[in-house]
Amino acid sequence: EVYLVESGGGLVQPGGSLRLSCEASGFTFSSFWMTWVRQAPGKGPEWLANINQDGSQKYYVDSMKGRSIISRDNAKKSLYLHIASLRAEDTALYYCAKGNRMDVWGQGTTVTVSS
């Protein structure tokens, strides 16, 4: 069965940074684009970034450009999102999803930005 498990969330002070991880299993990770999506409390999903199979193509939503980096390690079947300069509006549940069609999602990891 296909699984995605996110980790790395937590309470962070404004201006801080963190790295989110997503571990994949049950499919050939290296064959798929991968995507990060977040959802703030009571709001709809927001697409953040995606990365192609070998990491040579990366795309970001404007709010993430310049302060986040999406990356992957195919040997570890893992996807990452590093976010810097965190602010209160980054508080959300962060999901990774398989492919651009996002047919499989993890359970999410919660990021809270607060002093």
* Cα four-point dihedral sign 57, 62, 65, 67: negative
Q: How far is the CB of 55 from another protein (least distance, A)?
A: 16
Q: How far is the CB of 61 from another protein (least distance, A)?
A: 4
Q: How far is the CB of 13 from another protein (least distance, A)?
A: 27
The window from 18-26, 66-74, 75-83, 102-110 that contacts another protein (CB under 8 A) reads: 102-110
**Contacts for 28 with CB less than 8 Å, ≥ 6 apart:** none
Burial of 28 (0-12, 13-18, 19+ CB in 10 A): exposed
Site for another protein in 10-69 (CB under 8 A): 35, 37, 44-47, 50, 59-62
Which residue number, 29 or 60, has a Cβ lying nearer to another protein? Answer: 60
Chain positions contacting another protein, by CB under 8 A? 35, 37, 44-47, 50, 59-62, 95, 100-103, 105-108
